[in-house]
Amino acid sequence: MSNTQWTWTGAVWLWMGIVFAGWLPPVKAAATGHDVVEVMARAARGEPLRYVAIGGSITQAGGPGWIGDWLRAQFPESEVTVVNSGMSATGSELGVFRIDRDVIAHQPDLVAIEYCVNDGGLTDEAAIRYMETLVVRLKTLPHPPAIVILEAAARTGSNRARHRRVARHYGLLEVDWQAAVDAHLKAEDLGWDTFFSDDVHPNEAGHAFYARILEQALQPLMDEARAKAEEGGRSIVGGDHSGVVIGAGTQKRPALPPVLSGKPLFLDARMVPLQGLKDGSGAWRSEETVPFWYGRFFQGVLSADKPGDSLKIPFRGTAVGLFFAMHEDYGAFYTSVDGGLPAHVSGNNYRGYAVHLAALDLPAREHVLTVVLPPPEDIGATVRTGGPVKLGYLLVAGESGAKREPSPTGAFDLGRLKALRFRAVPAVRWMWAGPFSVEVNGHNPLDAQDAMARRFLPEPGEAAGETGTWRMIEAEGDRVDFRALTGSQAPGVAYARTELLSERGGLVIFALEVDYFAHVWVNGQRVLTLDGPHRVPVFLPVQLNAGVNTLFVKVGAGSAGFNLRLRVGE
């Protein structure tokens, strides 16, 4: 999500109070929210209340976490601390690493988590795994906070089912803003722009609406909490309990249900500042800040700018990644873990920052992350390899159960990474067919994710032969721009095919760029499925036959483009 600025105004509050005085859509919590009652009962007795909201740009623009001022008004005898840890353009993928720095460090009593919209591109497995990591991480703290899951709205509907499943499994209060928005707009015959500046970002009135719906969801729990506080009693969150030794004392915590995720959670994930790392080669230098608004999210950076500059970072764990700064003047870099297949990471697609998860689910032992700056090469109007690289944090998880055993190394040692060279497939070598599109609820969707699930032409492996209208591409360069070919901005699907000649055959690396869904077949066999946002290009090892090889690609448009580019590395 893009960064937006938003402030509360008295006029908006007055207007919203008039609009909502007679009607508010019912908000039904999927679970009891008993943990919220406990926190509010303590605050009602005058104990401190520390509230932290974490999420993407919707949270970042949400002022005092939507309810900060309301909490202060409800608990005048309590010292209420409010922290907005929203970070635009990020989802729970980064959230699991930054929760220690941006949430746990504040010793929260109440945490609101808003990642529904930004997690839209994740697989169900990943969305559940990351959200469950956040919940379990917080609930296993010495003083576990109450948690509220916020389900933000999108014009074509947000995917709330994954986060909702986690919320209900752990007995957490969830607030369905999508249902509330849809019901209110329909009841009052209002347009989407009443509450939103685009497809997902609320305007001032929208944020005020979000706040009122959240307050309404919390009010019954507030009433219960006040009753408990007046009784002077202290209730325990439902469930079995066991004593856990914390330092010299004992803290009672509820037993958690079995984990939903089929893969291990990232319960020790953290962000490690790289700014102070001293590289033996002297190629990398420490810089105190990134001179842009997003510098606030960095603790300085580690920077290098010459082709061939490299960095080896040993780490112990099961997952590793990088959080780095982006700007149109910056460059790109390769990463490889233990000499494995490299990844190409672009640093100049836009201004801001990005996450590159280099490896997940590694063996729990010692590993090495290698970073190399490649030779300069223009690969598009806004993407190139030459330019400085600025690394902010190492993202690491899985150290708790890791051994000191070193990992075996693969073929891509430092020398091979520095020697990587690619040749592009010219645009005129491709044929294409399309575009094809589908509507969702009568609207063109943000991207072609739904359309990718449909077959518009026979695809490799099907009994029917290739049909449809195939056209040659007459364009200079090596980038196939389907929007330019079609003259349409509507999200859609296109097919492309070509032939690759290999004298000897053997293993090659495809560097594929699409924005941002794709299915790829080589010689009739599917070799790649991209079903969500990704950093381009994607590196893919492919076995070619000696002679002619057929390549068939199905491309789905993303929110930022509708492109195809292929380079082949020997």
Q: Could you tell me which residue, 476 or 49, shows the higher pLDDT? A: 49
Q: Which CATH superfamily is domain 26-254 in?
A: SGNH hydrolase (3.40.50.1110)
pLDDT of residue 55: 98
Q: Which CATH superfamily is domain 270-414 in?
A: Galactose-binding domain-like (2.60.120.260)
What are the sequence ranges of the domains in the chain? Answer: 26-254, 270-414, 424-569
Q: Provide the 3-class DSSP secondary structure of residue 487.
A: coil
pLDDT at 31 exceeding the cut of 60: no
Q: What's the Cα-to-Cα distance from 95 to each of 119, 225, 268, 298, rounded to whole Å?
A: 11, 30, 12, 15
**Residue 14 contacts by C-beta under 8 Å, 6 or more apart in sequence?**
none
pLDDT band at 223 (very low <50, low <70, confident <90, very high): very high
Q: What's the burial of 71, exposed, middle or buried (CB within 10 Å: 0-12/13-18/19+)?
A: buried
pLDDT at 58 exceeding the cut of 90: yes
Q: Could you tell me which residue, 518 or 447, shows the higher pLDDT? A: 518
pLDDT band at 535 (very low <50, low <70, confident <90, very high): low
Q: Provide the 3-class DSSP secondary structure of residue 286.
A: strand
**Residue 52 contacts by C-beta under 8 Å, 6 or more apart in sequence?**
65, 82, 83, 85, 102, 103, 106, 108, 110, 111, 112, 145
Q: Cβ(95)–Cβ(119) under 8 Å?
A: no
Of the candidate ranges 206-210, 247-251, 385-389, the one whose mean pLDDT is the lowest: 247-251
Q: Cβ(177)–Cβ(153) under 8 Å?
A: yes
CB atoms inside a 10 Å sphere around CB 378: 10
pLDDT at 347 exceeding the cut of 90: no
pLDDT band at 245 (very low <50, low <70, confident <90, very high): very low
Could you read off the pLDDT of 99-158 as tens digits, one per residue? 999 999 999 999 999 999 999 988 999 999 999 999 999 999 999 999 999 999 999 999
Could you read off the pLDDT of 281-309 as tens digits, one per residue? 889 999 998 888 888 999 999 999 999 99
Angle at 36 between CA 34 and CA 37, to 5 degrees: 65
Q: Could you tell me which residue, 517 or 448, shows the higher pLDDT? A: 517
User: Considering the chain, what percentage of its residues have pLDDT values greater than 90?
Assistant: 63
pLDDT of residue 440: 58
Element of type H or E holding 126: helix 124-139
Could you read off the pLDDT of 548-566 as tens digits, one per residue? 999 999 998 876 678 899 9
pLDDT of residue 344: 87
CB atoms inside a 10 Å sphere around CB 44: 20
pTM, two decimal places: 0.81
Q: Could you tell me which residue, 218 or 383, shows the higher pLDDT? A: 218
pLDDT of residue 185: 98
Q: What is the mean pLDDT of residues 41-61?
A: 97
pLDDT of residue 463: 53
pLDDT of residue 134: 98
Could you read off the pLDDT of 385-436 as tens digits, one per residue? 678 999 999 999 999 999 999 999 998 899 988 988 888 899 999 999 988 8
Of the candidate ranges 18-27, 87-96, 443-452, 466-475, the one whose mean pLDDT is the lowest: 18-27
371 pairs with which residues across the strands? 311, 335
CB atoms inside a 10 Å sphere around CB 49: 22
Q: Provide the 3-class DSSP secondary structure of residue 122.
A: coil
Q: Which of 520, 342, 331 is nearest to 417 (CA)?
A: 342
Question: Can you tell me the distance from the alpha carbon of 113 to that of 148, in angstroms, rounded to the nearest whole number?
Answer: 6
pLDDT band at 263 (very low <50, low <70, confident <90, very high): very high
Q: Which of 64, 82, 32, 63 is nearest to 218 (CA)?
A: 32
Question: Can you tell me the distance from the alpha carbon of 180 to that of 198, in angstroms, rounded to the nearest whole number?
Answer: 18
Q: What is the mean pLDDT of residues 251-257?
A: 73
Per-range mean pLDDT, top range of 18-22, 65-69, 246-250: 65-69
Q: Which CATH architecture has domain 424-569?
A: Sandwich (2.60)
- For 310, the token pair is 């490299």
Q: What's the Cα-to-Cα distance from 438 to each of 186, 448, 530, 557, rounded to whole Å?
A: 24, 8, 19, 12
pLDDT band at 443 (very low <50, low <70, confident <90, very high): low
Could you read off the pLDDT of 310-325 as tens digits, one per residue? 999 999 999 999 999 9
**Residue 151 contacts by C-beta under 8 Å, 6 or more apart in sequence?**
116, 158, 160, 163, 164, 174, 175, 176, 177, 178
Q: Could you tell me which residue, 570 or 123, shows the higher pLDDT? A: 123
Domains 270-414 and 424-569 share a fold: yes
pLDDT of residue 416: 87
pLDDT of residue 483: 87
pLDDT of residue 30: 37
Q: What is the mean pLDDT of residues 368-373?
A: 96
- For 234, the token pair is 């202290």
Question: Can you tell me the distance from the alpha carbon of 439 to that of 170, in angstroms, rounded to the nearest whole number?
Answer: 36
Question: Can you tell me the distance from the alpha carbon of 375 to that of 389, in angstroms, rounded to the nearest whole number?
Answer: 13
User: Considering the chain, what percentage of its residues have pLDDT values greater than 70?
Assistant: 85
Q: How large is the angle between the packed helices 204-231 and 10-20, nearest 10 degrees?
A: 70
